[in-house]
Structure 1
């Protein structure tokens, strides 16, 4: 069965989720290249830091051929984004990465000090 692709809004952008086994995954190469980062360096990081959770999902590419995609579970995307140095992304994306990382700081702080973290206006992703 072909994986389900689902575009979702994410910080004024769109991220394509890949549904497999009723779990949402994120194809990492489009995100990495859109940020202006080196794919091979980030793939090495993904293979080292997310070895137990990354998966290869085969999907039909724009050229109509089946291609494997290195994917992370959606729940791991924040950890990867948090690991990115804002100075290494495209200039126009730096403020967005910094804002996201500061939000992660706040969420972690609230979780550790208040026992929960929330963000108004959030929606859950279901497959």
Structure 2
């Protein structure tokens, strides 16, 4: 069975810093400077206040499975909401594990996976998670 191909993210001026950090193995999340709360996905306005008073900060890359499902298709994969140590939940894939061992509350760690554009060229690494 061939490896599942991960679609390359669309990169524009609003997301370039996030994907540049991903290429360096770092996960960036948003930080609302007005509330001190982190958020995902990073963007130019706080989802809490709608203020542009936001920063990109590096996340630890550690979290906990909040919810998940296993897609049992030709190339099975697990989708999950992972609650990051910083607080926000990220919709992602769980990789490098036996899906039968997945459970809500399982500790996970960041694992970037390569992506590929439709034309076959490599894309930016995509943040996914594996059991810690």
TM-score (norm 1): 0.24
* Structure number with higher helix proportion: 1
Q: TM-score scaled by structure 2?
A: 0.23
